[in-house]
Structures are given as C-alpha cells and as structure tokens.
A and B are shown apart, each in its own frame.
Chain A
Amino acid sequence: MVRLFSMIGSRLVIAVPYLWLLVFFLVPFFIVFKISLSQTTIAMPPYLPVFGLEEGISGFIRNLRDLSFENYLWLFQDALYVNAYLSSLVIAAVSTLLTLLVGYPIAYGMARAPATLRPLLLMLIILPFWTSFLIRVYAWIGILKPEGLLNQFLFALGVIDEPLIILNTTSAVYIGIVYSYLPFMVLPLYAALEKMDYSLIEAAQDLGCPPLAAFWKITFPLSAPGVIAGCMLVFIPAVGEFVIPDLLGGSRTLMIGKTLWDEFFFNRDWPVSSAVAVVLLLILVVPIAYFQRAQARAREQES
C-alpha cells in the first residue's frame, strides 16, 4: 500500500510540472505556428480560419486548405522585417561584447578580492538584478535626455557646449542593454574565475611568464566556460528585447521585439506577428541549443 502511494507520488512529481509546461509553454507554440499560417481579418479573434469543433471533420480539412505560408513570404519581401532581424542580431552581438568588456574586470576584481569581502561584492552585483528591470531602464531616461543629468554634468565641467543627443539613439540601447544585463555576465564569469586556483598564475610566473601574458595564456582560457555562459545569457534575450529599444531607442533603432509588439498591438495583425515570432524562435534555436549543450557539458565535468 505504502509502495503504491510512493509510486503515485513519483508519478505526480513528474506529471504535474510536465503537464503544466506542455499546456502553457509547448502547446502555445503550435498555436502560434498555426496562426502564422492564417489570414488577417477584422473580427475577434482577428484571423481566419478559426478551427472550431462544431464544423466537424470536413470543416477541419477545409480549414487546413486555407492555411498558407503567405505571411512568411511577406516577411522576407518587406525589407522592414529583414532589417529588423539583422539589426537585432547586430545590436545584441555588439552589446554582448560591450557587456563582456565591462563585466570581465568587475568579475576579475571580485574574484581577486579578499575572501571575506567577496560575499558582500556578490550581493552588490545581484541586488540590482532583483530590482525592477523596467525601473532600471527608466532611470536612464532622466540621465540621457538632452537636458538630462549627464549633459548637465558635462556642461558644468565645460566639456561640451551643446547637449549630446544620446536618448532615442542606438547608443542609448547599447547602454541600456549593457546596464541591464551586466549581472548575467558578471555572475558566470565570477563563478569561473573564483574557482580558478591562483597558484596556476604563480606557477606561470615562476616559469617566466609576465603577468599580462599569464592572464592571456592561463586566466582567460580557464574562464572560457564563464565567458560562453555569460555571453549566451546576454545575447539570447537581448535579440528579442522590447523594453530597452522601446524606451531608450528612437524610431530609427529597429529591433524585432519592438516590431512584433507594434505589429500585434498597433496593427492588430496577429498572423504576421505570429510569423515574426516563429522566425525569431528559429533564429534563436541555434544559440539556445548550443548554450544548453555547453551547460550540460560543464555540469558533467563538475560531477
């Protein structure tokens, strides 16, 4: 009897989260895909065909015939979408690199800090991550505006005569992404660097390697798993980012997350926004799969 219960228990532990994610995560993707093959119409829901149970099997087959790849053709013919995808990838890649450049010295400094100080530094890195993303992006508006705090400061110093235009440009998007995603870069880097045995550097120097060369030949290669993990954690979500380009970027900053949002909320074109989502997902499948494999390999090596 007890065994029976524990068997049911183990089934439940798997089944409950599994079913939940199937229904609310996986199935919706198929719905997105189906709607991306539909046509826009002025109705609620605003697409055709709607698969209804009352139409029976013949209706189902008729509806299947109405599905088409027209929306995808549309995506690739309109330069707006192609450019949005390309510029999202470029912006995400450039910001990832910038985040790495900013994050590496911080992670390195933390890993080399006295052991008693490290938990505090770690917490200081994590703390902003807990506070609202939206608020942190919002904070930059007041700083980057033409009459904002940065320009006031530079005026006061006498560095500039007329305000720098940063807000509503791609530069502001870069700043926003670097700022918002910095903890995601620093944490894996720190984890990799902190694990590293400092005597390796001493051994390298003992064998005649100057500090900078020791960094490139020993420290950096050993932190590679952290670099990969950090870059993936920044790059993947940055490609589909919406809040940052919407609040900090201007009309000329094209990013696909914002395009999808506008298509959905302003044009009310559900089929096209679904097609945009499907293509974005296909683009991201490669880095996501790569990231998951790298993570799995790292876990194996540790155990």
Chain B
Amino acid sequence: MASLGSTRRTFAPWADPAAKPYIRFENVTKRFGDFTAVDDLSLTIYEREFFALLGASGCGKTTLLRMLGGFEQPTSGRIFLDGQDMKGIPPYRRPVNMMFQSYALFPHMTVEANIAFGLKQDGMPKPQIAERVGQMLKLVKLEQFAKRKPQQLSGGQRQRVALARSLAKRPKVLLLDEPLAALDKKLREETQFELVDLQYELGLTFIVVTHDQEEAMTMADRIAIMDKGKVLQVATPAEVYEAPSCRFVADFVGSINTFEGSVTKTGSAARIRDRSGTEFRVADAGEAAAGDTVWLAVRPEKLSISRERPADAANALDGEIWDIAYLGDMTVYNVKLDDGRIVKASTINSIRRLEDALTWHDRAWVSFSADAGVVLTR
C-alpha cells in the first residue's frame, strides 16, 4: 500500500501541458424551463482520474453527470469523450456506466441477473457472461449472495451489487451519483477507501457526485466545487482546503474565519486593515492592489489560543470565550471579540487532561502567523 500511495502522489496529468484530456465539457449550458441548472460550464477530466463534483443540492452537479451519461441533453455546448462528440448519442450507446443514488437494482431479478443485465444487452455469449459475473461477484465479495433478490440484501450489499453491475461492462468511465449517501457513517468511511482501491486497480476513470466534502476530499484526485451551475474551483483536495479560490469555496469546505478589510500595503509583507482598525500582517496578498476590499481567511486550526498575548505572534486578537465545543480529538473555542465578531479556534487534544484549562467567560488571545491565512478577492 505504501507504493500505491507514492504512485498516486505523482499522478497529476492536469499539471502536464502535453497530457490529453479524456472528457471535455465545452461551454455546456442546461436549462429546465426558466431554471438554469448548468451555466456555460467548461471542464476537463483526465484518464484514470478520480474526479469529484462537490456542491450543495441544486448546484447542477447531478445534471452534469446525467448529461455525460446521456440522460439529459445539453441546451447548448458540447461534451467530448475520448475525442468523440457525444451529441445525440443515447445512453445505451455510450461507453460510460452509472451507479445510481437509489442503486436502481431491478427488484424482480437476482443479484446475478442484475449484474448480467448489461452483458446480455451486448449479446455476449452465455459462458462468458457467467465468467464475468463470477469475477464481479468476487470483486465485491458477494459470491454467496448470487441467487438473492435485492430486497434480501443489506444496504451495504446492495451498494456493492450496484457497483458490480455498473462495472461489469468494463466502461471507460464510471459515473457515481452520491454512491455512499444511503450508508451509515462507519460503513461509508470504509467504503470510501474500497472505492479508491478499486478505481486504482481497474485503472478506470471515476466521476463521483457528492455533497459531502469529507467524502470528496478522501477519495478524489481533484475536486470541482460547484454553485448555481458554475464551477468555482477545480483543484486537488489540499489546494481546495489551503488555497480556496473564493469565499464560497473557503466556507463550503471545512470551517473558516474571514476578516473583511482593505489592503494598506501590497507585496510580500502586506497589511490588511479591517473595519475596527486592526491591522493584519499577511505574508502574501497575491494580486490585490492597495485599497482593494479583500477577505483574509484563516482556518480555525491555524489559530492558537492562550491566556496571554504570545510575544512572537504576527497577528493577535483578544476577546472572551463565548462557547466551547469539546469534540474528543479536538476542542473548538468560539471567542467573542469586543466588537461582537466571533472567531473560531481549534486545538488538538494531544494531552489527556489540561491543567488550568480555558473555560467559559475567560479572557483569551487568539493569534496566527502571517502565512496562516489566505487573501481572497471575491
């Protein structure tokens, strides 16, 4: 597994200008009546990539997936798969398969018959079908359930039948619509890793739609974050988290503190002054020009909390401890600044019991370094 991890790290075709995209959405728009589900969207996905479409419900991510599957036709724009324009090609002629959110297992067929369904449509000879079905059952560890009907399986087993059925035809691309949404938390976490291993072993391209940011970050090589039919950022999980492109992304993935202010000094040792006059030291203000309104975004774990102001802190704010959420592995403090703003700071509970722990209504300082935050211009 160690070697697997290292190979995965070097997999980055999107950074290679010579790499050819496998799937291309070109200015795709989809309208349902007055509602624009997907708005002039362009996106490229590479072969063997595990790609996640992340967003709240109604952001257009499922519509995008269904257009690739052939269940919806774009109102305008084009979709290419392996260089071929997909316009007018019906779902049953596309080399992609979909795993449905409801699993859509045929209730009147056994597990075996469900998996064989797609192969039969292709007119594959019976012995070969039997062999392939056997392989698939083994792959998802359901050999002894071959003769069962879907109603006789648990949620996790059904999910695996759906997976086996959509993989049986060896599609070039597997589309997964909220594949883990119906599973409980523990099973979901296990299955995330199984899916990643499977994708790597089979060498397929996976496109997964999810509203769960943890799920997307765990599984995907790259994540596209969508809102109102547009893609806001396409990047690796680490980039999305540490260098969000805008406030929406910063806020959607994890929790974050944002301080609105204007740039008073640009360049490498920039300064940002907020409305209550506090001046923040920032290592890099990026493109922002002096006088621009910007947002300094800092993740709670990048903040330290202490009774006294740390002597070496680049930025420090003081306030009153307003709320404490003890989560076991860490503790989140909500500190209310004197101007009423709430700042979140989290600390890892690496020591079992803290003597002199901070408590409600204590005065406390939150501090962070000059490179702890990211400056957002929109």
Contact = CB atoms under 8 A, between A and B. Distances in A.
Nearest to B92: A2
Contacts of A3: 90
Contacts of A2: 90, 92
Interface in A1-24: 2-3
Interface residues of B, number: 2
Interface of A is mostly: helix
Contacts of B92: 2
Nearest to A6: B90
A2 B91 CA distance: 12
Interface residues of A, number: 2
B319 to A, nearest CB: 43
Interface string B61-93: 000000000000000000000000000001010
A3 B92 CA distance: 10
B334 to A, nearest CB: 35
Nearest to B88: A3
A2 B90 CA distance: 10
Nearest to B90: A3
A3 B91 CA distance: 11
A2 B92 CA distance: 10
Contacts of B90: 2-3
Nearest to A3: B90
Nearest to B93: A2
A3 B90 CA distance: 8
Nearest to B89: A3
A3 B70 CA distance: 13
A154 to B, nearest CB: 55
A263 to B, nearest CB: 51
Interface string B275-317: 0000000000000000000000000000000000000000000
Interface string B179-202: 000000000000000000000000
A198 B263 CA distance: 61
B302 to A, nearest CB: 46
Interface in B92-112: 92
Interface string A29-73: 000000000000000000000000000000000000000000000
A241 to B, nearest CB: 42
B119 to A, nearest CB: 18
B199 to A, nearest CB: 31
B288 to A, nearest CB: 48
A3 B93 CA distance: 10
A265 B159 CA distance: 66
A153 to B, nearest CB: 52
A282 B90 CA distance: 48
B370 to A, nearest CB: 55
B44 to A, nearest CB: 29
A2 B89 CA distance: 11
A125 B294 CA distance: 70
A60 to B, nearest CB: 45
A10 to B, nearest CB: 13
A1 to B, nearest CB: 11
Interface of A: 2-3
3 contacts: A2-B90, A2-B92, A3-B90
| Leading 3 A-B pairs by shortest Cβ distance | A3-B90, A2-B90, A2-B92
